[in-house]
Every structure is written in C-alpha cells, then in structure tokens.
C-alpha cells in the first residue's frame, strides 16, 4: 500500500530543518480491536534515512513508541539553497516510502 509521505525544508542560518510527515498507523501490537476483541498486529516504521544531494546525512531508528502519522524532524548543516533532499523509510512489514524536496 502506498502511503503518503511529505517532506518540507526550512533553512535556519547555516542549518536546514528537514520535516517528514508519514501517513502510517504505527501500531504497537498491544491494542485490541473493539469489534473482534483480537490484538491488532504490530505495524511501525523501523528506519528513516535522510539524504542531501545523494549523501546520507542522518538516520533514525523508530519503533512502537512513535505516534500514528509521525512527524519527524532533523537539522543538517550546510545544505545550500537548491540542494536535493530525499527521505526514505521502511517498516516492520516490508512497506517502504520516500519523498523528495529542494532546500
């Protein structure tokens, strides 16, 4: 299933803030479905990778403690105006997503 992934960049001095919003359920595996009374299987983003101009600048290991539809932000130094930003993620069920932006 293709999940909506949005990336936004905000220059702040010599740093650039990269914000990523992913439409994802982020299930812990501990909640119970009210109708079926069965546990909802775990489904969460495990890894998010940030690249600027093709070079990896950050990596985040996520888990079950992150909220539904997470907004993840990192700050990187020296990402000049016009730099290409790519963010990709994978989850525990093998789903993947990515999005691009320009500083």
CA angle 8–80–102, rounded 5-degree value: 35
78 part of a folded domain: yes
95 part of a folded domain: no
Q: What is the mean pLDDT of the chain?
A: 95
Measured distance CA(75)–CA(13) in Å, rounded: 11
Residue 45: which of 88, 102, 89, 7 has the closest Cα?
89
Query: In the predicted model, what is the mean pLDDT of residues 7-16?
Result: 94
Percent of the chain residues topping a pLDDT of 90: 91
pLDDT at 41 over 90: yes
49 part of a folded domain: yes
Is the separation of the CB atoms in 23 and 95 below 8 Å?
Answer: no
Number of structural domains (the chain) is 1
pLDDT at residue 1, as a whole number: 60
Q: pTM for the whole thing? A: 0.91
Both tokens assigned to 49: 């990778």
pLDDT at 51 over 70: yes
Supply the range of the domain harboring residue 64: 5-87
């Amino acid at each position: 299933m293709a999940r909506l992934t949005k990336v936004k960049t905000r220059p702040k001095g010599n740093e650039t803030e990269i914000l990523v919003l992913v439409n994802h359920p982020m299930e812990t595996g501990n909640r119970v479905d009210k109708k079926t009374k069965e546990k909802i299987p775990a489904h969460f983003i495990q890894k998010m990778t940030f690249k600027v101009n093709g070079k990896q600048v950050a990596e985040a290991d996520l888990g079950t403690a992150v909220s539904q539809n997470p907004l993840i932000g990192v700050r990187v130094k020296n990402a000049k105006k016009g730099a290409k930003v790519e963010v990709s993620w994978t989850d525990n069920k093998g789903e993947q997503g990515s999005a691009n932006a320009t500083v």
